[in-house]
Amino acid sequence: MEFKEEFLERLKNARSVVFFTGAGISAESGIPTFRGNEGLWKKFRPEELANFDAFIRNPDLVWEWYQYRRKIVEEAKPNKGHLAIAEMENYFEDVSVITQNVDNLHSRAGSTKIFELHGNIERNYCIDCKTFYTHEELNEAGGVPKCKLCGGLIRPDVVWFGEPLPQNVFSSAERAARKSDVCFVVGTSAVVYPAAYIPDSAKSGGSYVVEVNIEPTDLSYRVDYSITGKAGEILPAVLEEVKKLKTKESK
Ligand code: BJW
Ligand code: ZN
């Protein structure tokens, strides 16, 4: 695979690298994206399911939707894209993963510095007393579980529309993006805010922004380099280049 010379030069000199990821990076692990032809939203309308009011109106339905997705996630494995990102930690001083995904696959692939902007489907908490529950602690027979301490409804620890992102996570992610030398934007339509500001933060700090996607997005005209292709193919090829560049450097 041939890459632009300017990109290779920036990679060679980079100390700090950020990967900002979306649902597309997990597509090759068999997890449906949100807005593609096979997207999750095609089968379930987001306004019916991914907001707090919908949960209060019909908690069993929303809980069932997350149970269905949890099963897909549990059976999925990190793919070559996730693994290539994790391996980058061997070649750069500082690697951060800023993800919109709730599937935990970056962690399972071995990445160590991860900012989860939209939460994690493996965690749950009580909407009233905020006690956290792992999956094993919940009795899931018969719809949405109730809190053992106060009887409140248990919800997944994810960020729904109209809810704020975890503030400290988002500001740390913005800082990491701003100080990065190269920022990869992988498998996201970049239409959901404020997460979609991350590439702009990177750019404003002088980072070289590289998009990896199977098709053009709203962001494509604003990045330094747009690479068209599957994350599971492009990222391992980038890793191979990095290995070559970093070996040359040490000679
Ligand atoms: C591949 C591939 C392969 C496929 N290889 N590529 C302006 C500023 C701020 C906010 C707003 C704003 N305008 C509107 C808002 C409000 C709203 C918003 O952004 N709406 C827009 C949709 C219009 N934002 C919010 O409500 C956010 N909160 C907020 O603003 O709070 C304000 C507040 C402050 C103080 C108090 C109270 C409130 C919250 C947003 C939460 C989003 N949540 C979800 C659900 C998470 C839980 C769950 O998973 O169920 O997050 S929605 C969904 O979209 C999910 C995703 O993380 C997110 C992004 O989707 P993503 O990852 O980009 O996926 P897709 O499917 O869109 O794209 C996949 C891409 O992959 C495609 O491009 C493919 O081509 C590509 N691809 N295969 C490479 N193999
Ligand atoms: Zn409770």
CATH number assigned to the domain comprising residue 145:
3.30.1600.10
Q: Does 114 lie in the same domain as 223? A: yes
pLDDT of 128: 98
Q: Does 132 lie in the same domain as 241? A: no
Ligand nearest to the CA of 68: 1
Three-state SS annotation for the chain: CCCCHHHHHHHHHCCEEEEEECCHHHHCCCCCCCCCCCCHHHHCCHHHHCCHHHHHHCHHHHHHHHHHHHHHHHHCCCCHHHHHHHHHHHCCCEEEEEECCCCCHHHHHCCCCEEECCEEEEEEEECCCCCEEEHHHCCCCCCCCECCCCCCEEEEEECCCCCCCCHHHHHHHHHHHHCCCEEEEECCCCCCCCHHHHHHHHHHCCCEEEEEECCCCCCHHHCCEEEECCHHHHHHHHHHHHHHHHHHHHC
Q: Does 208 lie in the same domain as 127? A: no
Q: How confident is the model at residue 221 (pLDDT cuts 50, 70, 90)?
A: very high
pLDDT of 65: 87
Residue 106 a catalytic site member: no
pLDDT of 135: 82
For residue 217, the ligand 1 atom closest to its alpha carbon is: 73
Instruction: Note the pLDDT tens digit of each residue in 142-174.
Output: 789 999 999 999 999 999 999 999 999 999 999
Q: Which residues span the domain enclosing 109?
A: 1-31+78-118+164-251
CB distance 86 to ligand 1 below 6 Å: no
Q: Does 193 lie in the same domain as 205? A: yes
Q: With 90 as the cut, is the pLDDT of residue 139 above it?
A: no
pLDDT of 61: 86
Q: With 70 as the cut, is the pLDDT of residue 243 above it?
A: yes
Mean per-residue pLDDT for 91-117?
98
To test the pocket of ligand 1, the residue of 161, 185, 230 to mutate (highest count of ligand atoms within 8 Å of its CB) is 161
Q: How confident is the model at residue 251 (pLDDT cuts 50, 70, 90)?
A: low
Instruction: Note the pLDDT tens digit of each residue in 34-80.
Output: 886 666 655 666 666 889 998 999 899 899 889 988 999 999 999 99
Q: What is the mean pLDDT of the chain?
A: 93
Q: How confident is the model at residue 24 (pLDDT cuts 50, 70, 90)?
A: very high
Q: Does 223 lie in the same domain as 113? A: yes
pLDDT of 42: 54
CB distance 199 to ligand 1 below 6 Å: no
For residue 197, the ligand 1 atom closest to its alpha carbon is: 8
Which of 82, 106, 118, 135 is an active site residue? 118
Q: Does 250 lie in the same domain as 172? A: yes
pTM: 0.96
Q: Does 183 lie in the same domain as 151? A: no
The number of domains in the chain is 2
